[in-house]
Structure 1
Amino acid sequence: MSHENPMSQITPASTSRRIDVELGSRRYPVWIGPGLMSDTATWRETIRGRHVLVFSNRTIAPLYLPKIEAGLSGLSWDSYVMDDGEAYKTFANIEQALGALARMGATRDACVIALGGGVVGDMAGFTAACWMRGIDFIQMPTTLLAMVDSSVGGKTGVNLPAGKNLVGAFHQPRAVFADTDSLATLPAREYRAGLAEVVKGAAIGDPVFFSWLEDHAEALAARDPAPLIEAIARKVAYKAGVVARDETEQGERALLNLGHSFGHALETAGHYQTWLHGEAVAIGMVLAAQLSEQLGMADAADTGRLRRLLLQLGLPVAPGALAPAETLLQLMRLDKKNLAGKLRLILWDGIGRARLVPGVDEAAVLGVLQAAINAPV
């Protein structure tokens, strides 16, 4: 992931939006809007102790770390800055971040600030989950993908050569501050990848939102601030509700993985270099919809609407000849949702009606993969 030097800031379209994630007696806020990183008075209040580790990467830190530094006056703090990209989501970086906490003498009331996209958020959260069996962390996502998905819900993780996020923990943030000004520095490809997760939320369980996205696709592709903030808020509110009902993915929360079984296989096959996560999810959603058609669960018209919306937003809808279908299927067998050696996939009955389907026929999956590999990208 890369950001560009800010040439201009997104004009504030409205005041910041706040959405609370409620987990029984626990609650944390998700703030969405412009200028949040500079609003020191708000985010500084969420830090309880005196030790802070800012976890970032070499692309984001030069752009935004100075803003965070300005708010850490009086605290004992350090930063850990990793290389940029999914390929660096490794235990080696976790070990170095934990070493930084050790050198600080960080106590159990310490806090980790995740300043970056989804990789940084997952890594910072896992570091916080590991240190003294769990300390606070704050999400400050700088990509659209992280704002609408990975920064909310407490999933943290590390990749292995065998697959993505095979090691991780559920560890909820203390707060999330999604500063939409940071999207002004986000290159077009990364921005579009984030829109895939917005579409995913609507495709899973909100057909009204899906229609809204179809009506506002052109404005969203152009980064129009008002519909952008509205789209982020709607997606976060939807996910917050799902997480509140199923924090540790025992049931409904698994639906948030629509397209991910296919998508993670594509990412792994490409060694995290070919497709961005959101792009892989976009392709994965189309593959899941096509498989749902093959299994007689959904109509081709719904698949067509999904493909058209993704294309309007500039997203890919086919994988190309990345790897043989058999290789992709083998990678899908490692998916965390599988049980007793059988594929369990998130499929749908049409827009807004996703469900978890156990024991999916591998021959049907293989046929969909083979057809997609031969389709235009």
Structure 2
Amino acid sequence: MTRTVPVALGDRSYQVRIGPGLIARAGAEIAPLLVRPRVAVLTDEAVAALHLPALQAALGAQGIAVTSLALPAGESTKSWDHLGRAVEWLIAERIERRDIVIALGGGVIGDLAGFAAAILRRGVRFVQIPTTLLAQVDSSVGGKTGINSAQGKNLIGAFHQPSLVLADTDALATLPERDFLAGYGEVMKYGLLGDAGFFEWLETHGPTLRTDPDALLHAVAHSVGMKADIVARDETEQGDRALLNLGHTFGHALESATGYSARLLHGEGVGIGCALAFDLSARLGLCAQEDPSRVAAHLAAMGMPARLADIPGTLPDDAGLIALMGQDKKVIDGQLRLILARGIGRAFVAGDVAPDSIAAVLAGSR
């Protein structure tokens, strides 16, 4: 029942293994990569309580020694302070360049552990074991690593590809409903940006993913396959890879505006951002008016937030949100670039959107 998706990057190619029971088999999966039988695991306190003992047992069964550090859970962990703590710990544990760091957790731990591995001794190998839906379909694949700045999300980091990704779909059963749905925002994104047939499939099967293991496996594997294809064509986001940021320019600004707090999870920001991107595309006459209606209807069917009005608390005014969008990594020569769509499954990069149009869409979502 395990699916394997290759990420073709020449001598840095690797596999994404997807299916149930992969944490229990992690020792056998990782052992062939090791020069010496020792690994360091970076995780967070919540994930450690749920999954670290099983991972330690799996590695121990293969004679692999394990040392681990559990950081606090939450987006605020993607900071200089916690990165420094992780790197100093890895140095103290005498992790060498030929060793492997394992990232066990969601996107926060994957991003931070990958960045720590990238800068430790100028580059140490690492393995991603993503335990959230968001991490399994998006952040664990493609080598983007990093931390947040007070000025914006993911502004500090490096491209550093993992040596292996083990996406254990059984781990998703431990997710709270809100976290699962937040991850679904990234799944939906793939259909919206490049595969109308997949979005149509999700309209039928999305609400059943938590209770249908076969549908869940298909959704994860299809999403990973789409990302792997794009990454293989454009590893460092010079072209097509920017399409993976559909919804993210809006979403990252909203995350910054809410202080990277529990008010808005990353995937929720992506979902709202996708709805805003389609609203803006329709306003500009790029896609049919029915398309944003389908996006909004699907978010509602999934029980996900779809509008700025769905975010608790007070948000900055439209000009304030647009200013936060201006810190996006896709900005070139000070010009904001947005991912818009000519229809469902037909996303493209637009670089000439008037701020007044963006402000109008934001105002209509409040």
Normalising by structure 1, what TM-score? 0.92
For the pair 1:136 / 2:125, whether they are aligned, the reply is: yes
Please state which structure has a larger fraction of its residues in helix.
Answer: 2
| SS of structure 2 residue aligned to 1:231 | helix
* Cα distance between partner residues in 2 of 1:181 and 1:267: 28
Check 1:251–1:49 CA distance in 2 against 1; reply closer, same or farther (3 A cut). farther
Contact (CA 8 Å) 1:117, 1:141: kept in 2 or not? yes
Q: 1:253 aligns with which of 219, 231, 241?
A: 241
What are the equivalent positions in structure 2 for 1:252-291 lying under 5 Å apart?
A: 252-273=240-261, 274-291=263-280
Q: CA deviation at 1:200?
A: 0.2
* Cα distance between partner residues in 2 of 1:51 and 1:336: 36
Q: CA RMSD in A?
A: 1.2
Contact (CA 8 Å) 1:302, 1:351: kept in 2 or not? yes
Aligned residue type for 1:236: V
| SS of structure 2 residue aligned to 1:122 | helix
Q: 1:90 aligns with which of 73, 76, 79?
A: 79
Q: Which residue of 2 aligns with 1:31?
A: 17
Contact (CA 8 Å) 1:263, 1:280: kept in 2 or not? yes
Q: Which residue of 2 aligns with 1:346?
A: 339
* Cα distance between partner residues in 2 of 1:72 and 1:98: 22
Check 1:186–1:293 CA distance in 2 against 1; reply closer, same or farther (3 A cut). same
Q: Which residue of 2 aligns with 1:106?
A: 95
Q: Deviations over 1:89-127 (max 9, x none)?
A: 101111111111111222110111000000000000000
Q: Which residue of 2 aligns with 1:6?
A: none
Contact (CA 8 Å) 2:23, 2:58: kept in 1 or not? no
What are the equivalent positions in structure 2 for 1:130-209 lying under 5 Å apart?
A: 130-209=119-198
* Cα distance between partner residues in 2 of 1:247 and 1:97: 26
Unaligned runs of 5+ in 1: 1-14
* Cα distance between partner residues in 2 of 1:75 and 1:192: 35
Aligned residue type for 1:369: L
What are the equivalent positions in structure 2 for 1:48-59 lying under 5 Å apart?
A: 48-59=35-46
Q: Which residue of 1 aligns with 2:32?
A: 45
Contact (CA 8 Å) 2:5, 2:17: kept in 1 or not? yes
Q: Deviations over 1:321-350 (max 9, x none)?
A: 522111111100111101111111111101
* Cα distance between partner residues in 2 of 1:360 and 1:111: 44
| SS of structure 2 residue aligned to 1:45 | helix
Q: Deviations over 1:240-269 (max 9, x none)?
A: 000000000000000000000000000000
| SS of structure 2 residue aligned to 1:59 | helix
Q: CA deviation at 1:26?
A: 3.1
Contact (CA 8 Å) 2:278, 2:340: kept in 1 or not? yes
Which has the larger displacement, 33-42 or 75-84?
Answer: 75-84
Contact (CA 8 Å) 1:51, 1:107: kept in 2 or not? no
Corresponding residue pairs, total: 358
Q: Which residue of 2 aligns with 1:3?
A: none
| SS of structure 1 residue aligned to 2:308 | coil
Q: Which residue of 2 aligns with 1:79?
A: 68
Normalising by structure 2, what TM-score? 0.95
Contact (CA 8 Å) 2:132, 2:175: kept in 1 or not? yes
* Cα distance between partner residues in 1 of 2:39 and 2:357: 50
Contact (CA 8 Å) 1:51, 1:109: kept in 2 or not? no
What are the equivalent positions in structure 2 for 1:283-362 lying under 5 Å apart?
A: 283-320=272-309, 321-362=314-355
